[in-house]
Amino acid sequence: MSVDTLLQRADIWRGGQTSSTAYAGVGTGFAELDEVFPGGGWPLGALTEIFTQHRGIGELSLLMPALARLSQEEPRWIAWIAPPYIPYAPALLAHGVDLSRVLWVHPRAAQDSLWALEQALRSGTCSAVLAWPEGLDSRSLRRLQLAAEVGQSLGLLFCAEHMAEQSSPAALRLQLSPALGGVDVTVLKRRGGWATGPVHVPLAHAASNVVASVA
């Protein structure tokens, strides 16, 4: 095996550099983020954890370009698992999301949300799965990471800020902070490279436009 071939493996640490070919990703729509995310975008077949002090600072707007692209290019679902707010269809449509590919899963019992999340990730029928877990232990996170790998899904977990303190097998872990005209994104963990940031990302639309009343 040549050195060049070896360096393309996903399990090889490359110091301050990230490989552009070792990871599959979908472009974020923001050049600032594509430059620092492994694979040049949100990692497919893996979990991404997004930590915020409170909801509604722009975390959903940050995802809209990627979700729009997935909904238009893949015949798979974009699943929302027990979102705290109802996805606002007109806003999603305005962002370019194909509503016929959006699936809203609202489990009857809170304890069923984790099961629904794992099944959606593992099924192979979802290009992206969004969830808002209240708390996950390391074992649960490992199961979800494996499920995302099997289903080749983009797993997006929106987590409370304090959850960033625990270890996680997620491929990408981000800390979001509100900033003038957008958000600041700090990469806490990324495959194949050091933590980095903050990176300022300007957002033209408020995240609150993407959701409606409390679910």
Per the CB < 8 A criterion, the answer to whether 168 and 141 are in contact is yes
Percent of the chain scoring above 90 in pLDDT: 64
Decide if pLDDT at 158 tops 70: yes
**Bridge partners of residue 37, in order along the sequence:** none
Does residue 186 fall inside a structural domain? Answer: yes
Q: Taking all residues of the chain, what is their mean pLDDT, rounded to a whole number?
A: 86
What total of structural domains would you count in the chain? 1
Does residue 113 fall inside a structural domain? Answer: yes
Does residue 16 fall inside a structural domain? Answer: no
d(CA 143, CA 131): 15
For residue 182, the enclosing domain spans: 23-214
* Segment holding 103, helix H or strand E: strand 102-105
pLDDT, tens only, 26-70: 999 999 999 999 889 999 999 999 999 888 899 999 999 999 999
Q: What phi and psi values does residue 188 have, to the nearest 5 degrees?
A: -80, -30
Q: What confidence score (pLDDT) does residue 77 get?
A: 97
Q: Is 124 left (phi over 0), alpha (psi -120 to 50) or beta?
A: left
Q: What phi and psi values does residue 16 have, to the nearest 5 degrees?
A: -80, 0
Buried b (16+ CB within 10 A) or exposed e, 169-198: ebbbbbbbbebeebbbbbbbbbbbbeeebe
Does residue 7 fall inside a structural domain? Answer: no
Question: pTM of the predicted model, to two decimals?
Answer: 0.85
Decide if pLDDT at 13 tops 90: no
List the CATH number of the domain containing 196.
3.40.50.300
Does residue 125 fall inside a structural domain? Answer: yes
Q: What confidence score (pLDDT) does residue 204 get?
A: 74
pLDDT, tens only, 95-134: 999 999 999 999 888 789 999 999 999 999 999 999 999 8
User: How sure is the predictor about 213, in pLDDT bands with cuts at 50, 70 and 90?
Assistant: very low
Does residue 195 fall inside a structural domain? Answer: yes
Does residue 6 fall inside a structural domain? Answer: no
Across the range 147-160, mean pLDDT stands at 96
Does residue 5 fall inside a structural domain? Answer: no
**Bridge partners of residue 214, in order along the sequence:** 85
Decide if pLDDT at 214 tops 80: no
